[in-house]
Amino acid sequence: MNYCSHCGAPVHYAIPDGDNRERHICTACDTIHYLNPKIVAGCIPVWEDKLLLCRRAIEPRHGLWTLPAGFMEQGETLSDAARRETREEANAEVELDELHTVITLPHVSHVQMLFRARLTAPVFSPGVETLETQLFREEEIPWDELAFETMRRTLRHFFADRRRGLFQLHVEDIPQAPPKGG
């Protein structure tokens, strides 16, 4: 951030009065510009004993598999965001169940929040950001071709919970970038 989005003057980086961390502050109009973590909302779409994954048509991780998820937008609810992302990436409609994972990635300031969900019909197809959509049984999950560590953890928790017959919320952090390919 170099300029004030309100008045266009240069910003400087300093601790505002009464605050305890550096912010971008306008040198002309004194507006303080806060930056905050973003929410990535999505779901685990289930049909019978299978899950729907999407193969990414965009960077990062082009060509790898993920659950439908993306940045929550202004003015929408968390559950609307999860349903919208599923519609945009997989042309699929879901009924949301419970929230399943809340995973913070502090190094990129993202909080990923995924619900368990049920496809309302076995109807899906790639959206513009997706190369391919496919239902997978647990033993068919392409573990070595998953796009993100958050998705790997979410799927692991899902299958472990399903085996013991008790789903629960998993709140955790991934404190730094996972190793390459991880």
Mapping DSSP onto H, E and C, the string for 106-162 reads CCCCEEEEEEEEEECCCCCCCCCCEEEEEEECHHHCCHHHECCHHHHHHHHHHHHHH
Question: Tokens standing for 25?
Answer: 């502050």
In the bound state with a copy of itself, the residue whose beta carbon lies nearer, of 30 and 173, is 173
Told to check if 12 binds a copy of itself by CB under 8 A, we report no
Q: What is the smallest separation between the CB atom of 147 and a copy of itself, expressed in angstroms?
A: 19
Answer yes or no whether residue 75 interacts with a copy of itself by CB under 8 A. yes
CB 171, min distance to a copy of itself, A = 5
Q: What are the residues whose beta carbons fall under 8 Å from the beta carbon of 4, sequence distance 6 or more?
A: 10, 11, 26, 27, 28, 29, 31, 33
Q: Is 7 near a copy of itself (CB under 8 A)?
A: yes
Residues that bind a copy of itself (CB under 8 A): 1-8, 10-11, 18, 20-21, 24, 33-39, 71-80, 88, 98-99, 102, 104, 106-107, 109, 111, 113, 128, 169, 171, 173, 175
